[in-house]
Amino acid sequence: MSEILPVGIDLGTTNSVIARIAGESVPEVIPNAEGESITPSVVWIGERGVVVGTDAKEQMSEGNPDTAAFFKRHMGNLSLPFFLGAKQYSAVDLSAFVLSKLKRDAEERLGRPIAHAVITVPAYFEDPQRNATIAAGTKAGLDVLEIISEPTAAAFAYGLHQTGREENILVYDLGGGTFDVSIVRLTPQEFTVLATKGDHGLGGKDWDDILSDYVLDRFRDEFGVDPLSHGLPRGELLMLAETAKKTLSGVMSTVVNFHHSGHRLRLELTREDFESRTSHLMEATRSLCNEVLKDAGLNWQLLTGVLLVGGSTRMPMVTDYVRQMSGGAPLTGIHPDHAVAVGAAIRAARLLDERTPHKPHFRLPGPKKIQDVVAHPLGMISETDDGSRYTNSIIINKYLGVPCSNTRPFQLYTSPGNGNEMEVYLTQGESTDPVDCTVIARWHAAGIEHDPSGLQVIDVEYSYTGNMTVDATARLRSTGRTIPLTKESDLGDLSWIRQPPRRKGKRQHITAYLAVDLSGSMAGAGVAAAQRAAREFVQQSDLSKCSIGIIEFADRVKVTCPACQDAGQLESAIAPLEPHVLCSRVGVGNAATPFATAHQILRDVTGARFIIVLTDGHWSCCPQAIQESVACRADGIQTIAVGTEQSNADFLKQISSSEAGSFYAKQHEVVGIFSSIARELTETAGGTKRALRLK
């Protein structure tokens, strides 16, 4: 028998499950002390101390105020304490009680200590909730090997029975409190999550709420009495509703008998009626399924099957929906209540075996590798280019494989002494408005030394770890010194995000347009170099203080990305610049010049403004280009020209602000030139501190 005992834990909103690998390869759920394979995630603090599970759930339904459930919905929320008995508890404390019970009962049953665990979370959990889950595990005395997403864990469990062919499956996970949907590609070697969506405010409880409200309304209508204001515990009504809901999963109609204040309500309920009353909830899961399929570039017909996970998928309306959309029955072979914990146990066993590859303890079939993806883009709060409001500037795009990282420069204006501080507010969310995103943490660095130029550039590396939590490290560009960063989870009052930023006098926003020549002669290596150069330029620019736009030109001019501070949006404009893509969007000749278009856009923009042209040849409209570039400069817009191949050095000089702003280069040098332009713009803050010195 194996000496070590890694476990997988499904820490659910309504129920939790713990599993292990028995012997070398048999996944098995470990029952709790009461002999149940599922432990209700309910805590009761009574005279017996902390009680978790069925007894606590009963106390709750009787209206005992010293009980708590559904606290998983509040993980990572520090401002929402639970009061049980005379004490205050956080969602982390309560989750730690659940984990301790699972650990203790499993240890007693197996007669061995448990140290290592993989714990699952909804795929849509953000950084604070994932960190809170790790904290709960640590508090329960567990070494948390990894946090994995519930649908991914379910796919692991399914993978044990994998046929060996490539499969694209949709994991539909509807539990008691959360809904997650992921598209996973399974090959004999690897699990790849292609896309994921979710709503952690949608679950079986919402179906119960609708049913209990219906019972309550009918009771009020019939007897003119409101049971809730006459001492009825809400929990009792919810239990009644949940029982009726579960009954309707097996039969077409049921009778709800509800007694209160001397009155008796007899309510006949059909499945059809229940389904129509809750159809908007099904609709919410439907639209998330469609969105995730679209994100993965698939449709129902291209799926190999649908995996149903979570207790609420027992509702016939879910299976009917899956049949209707996919044209077949859901995939079988996994237990909807156990699959997530079993998948986590498989992952835990594999992770421990990876630590001792020469002496594996387990022999598990199915794919070994796992590739999960970023579910929420990572961004930072910065000011818009006109300084009128705050914006969410994306640093790491959605659906990048984890772990991943991105380094971004940060400009800090310094004063003499070492008292300079840097603050970065990181967000998770897709909107450009930070109000619609979750501000996950404030990263703070103190003691930054003054630079004689008055500006320090700090290169900050932001990363998503394998647990999909966020990390950041910082380095001072001038000295290479690593700057210690502290992560403050308590963000305090964030109402300032809604206010206009307070302008700091010396701060000057930069707006730069990259104008890329896409005439026929650029096809192939020229376009490839332009794509790399544009990416490098974005990478090296501080998007919290700089907006970048992209213009393509040949016979026509097209603004493919208006100036923005969003790395994701810019990447979407840069990605199509593939060498094999014909530049037909703007023609193949060289009749157009980008200056007038850029001039028009930049005319009313405040701050430092730049047009940076990349070209490989001589244009048929040179005199017009020179004239237009002169007009730009007359309006204070600086122009920079980078030319390769057939470019004419004199022409480049004539369309540039200064000789130092024109470059004749070999194709392979272009990336380096764009990198230095971006760095120079960052380090001179748009030329406000000193004249732009481009070498």
Q: Which residues are at the interface with ligand AMP (CB under 6 A)?
A: 12-15, 175-176, 204-205, 242, 245-246, 249, 310-312, 314-315, 337
| Residue closer to ligand AMP, measured from CB, 220 or 314 | 314
Which phi-psi region, left, alpha or beta, contains residue 636 (left: φ > 0; alpha: ψ -120 to 50)? left
Amino acid identity for residue 689 in this structure: K
- The whole-angstrom separation of Cα 318 and Cα 183 is 17
DSSP assignment string, 153-201: HHHHHHHTT--SS-EEEEEEEE-SS-EEEEEEEE-SSEEEEEEEEEETT
Closest distance of CB 227 from ligand AMP, Å: 21
- The whole-angstrom separation of Cα 467 and Cα 404 is 11
What residues pair up with 18 in beta bridges, in sequence order? 9
| Residue closer to ligand AMP, measured from CB, 310 or 643 | 310
Closest distance of CB 58 from ligand AMP, Å: 15
Kindly state the tokens that stand for 638.
């600086």
| Residue closer to ligand AMP, measured from CB, 202 or 483 | 202
| Residue closer to ligand AMP, measured from CB, 35 or 49 | 35
DSSP assignment string, 544-596: TTEEEEEEEESSSEEEEEEEES-HHHHHHHHTT--TTS--GGG-SS----SHH
| Residue closer to ligand AMP, measured from CB, 13 or 639 | 13
Instruction: For residue 643, count other CB atoms closer than 10 A to its CB.
Output: 25
Closest distance of CB 96 from ligand AMP, Å: 19
Report the run of H or E that residue 447 belongs to, with start and end: strand 438-448
Task: Please enumerate in sequence order all residues whose Cβ is within 8 A of that of 583, keeping only pairs 6 or more positions apart, or say none.
Answer: 518, 519, 520, 522, 523, 527, 552, 554
| Residue closer to ligand AMP, measured from CB, 254 or 569 | 254
Closest distance of CB 171 from ligand AMP, Å: 13
Of the candidates 424, 414, 416, the residue with the CA atom closest to the CA atom of residue 477: 414
| Residue closer to ligand AMP, measured from CB, 16 or 67 | 16
Ranges of H-type helices in 561-609: 567-574, 595-602
| Cα-based angle 471, 474, 480 (whole degrees, multiple of 5) | 150
Closest distance of CB 127 from ligand AMP, Å: 23
Closest distance of CB 162 from ligand AMP, Å: 23
Buried b (16+ CB within 10 A) or exposed e, 200-214: bebbbbbbbbbbbeb
Kindly state the tokens that stand for 119.
């714990």
Closest distance of CB 245 from ligand AMP, Å: 5
What is the number of alpha carbons within 13 Å of residue 83 lying toward its C-beta? Answer: 2
Rounded (10°) CA dihedral 580, 586, 592, 594: -90
Closest distance of CB 12 from ligand AMP, Å: 4
Question: What is the number of the residue whose Cβ is closest to ligand AMP?
Answer: 204
- The whole-angstrom separation of Cα 644 and Cα 526 is 9
Closest distance of CB 329 from ligand AMP, Å: 17
- The whole-angstrom separation of Cα 350 and Cα 361 is 9
Closest distance of CB 35 from ligand AMP, Å: 17
| Residue closer to ligand AMP, measured from CB, 135 or 239 | 239
| Residue closer to ligand AMP, measured from CB, 14 or 647 | 14
27 upstream amide cis, omega within 30 of 0: no
Per the listing, tokens 């909730």 go with 129
| Residue closer to ligand AMP, measured from CB, 337 or 616 | 337
Closest distance of CB 33 from ligand AMP, Å: 19
Kindly state the tokens that stand for 528.
């490839």
Closest distance of CB 337 from ligand AMP, Å: 6
501 DSSP 8-state letter: P
Amino acid identity for residue 485 in this structure: L
| Residue closer to ligand AMP, measured from CB, 338 or 509 | 338
| Residue closer to ligand AMP, measured from CB, 310 or 661 | 310
Closest distance of CB 248 from ligand AMP, Å: 7
Pairing of strands 43-46, 67-68: antiparallel
- The whole-angstrom separation of Cα 168 and Cα 506 is 54
Closest distance of CB 246 from ligand AMP, Å: 4
Instruction: For residue 261, count other CB atoms closer than 10 A to its CB.
Output: 12
Closest distance of CB 601 from ligand AMP, Å: 52
Task: Please enumerate in sequence order all residues whose Cβ is within 8 A of that of 415, keeping only pairs 6 or more positions apart, or say none.
Answer: 450
Q: Extract the runs of DSSP E, i.e. beta strands, from 302-419.
A: 305-309, 369-371, 378-383, 390-396, 404-413
Q: Is residue 574 helix, strand or coil?
A: helix
| Residue closer to ligand AMP, measured from CB, 254 or 414 | 254
Ranges of H-type helices in 356-449: none
| Residue closer to ligand AMP, measured from CB, 306 or 557 | 306
| Residue closer to ligand AMP, measured from CB, 213 or 436 | 213
- The whole-angstrom separation of Cα 20 and Cα 28 is 5
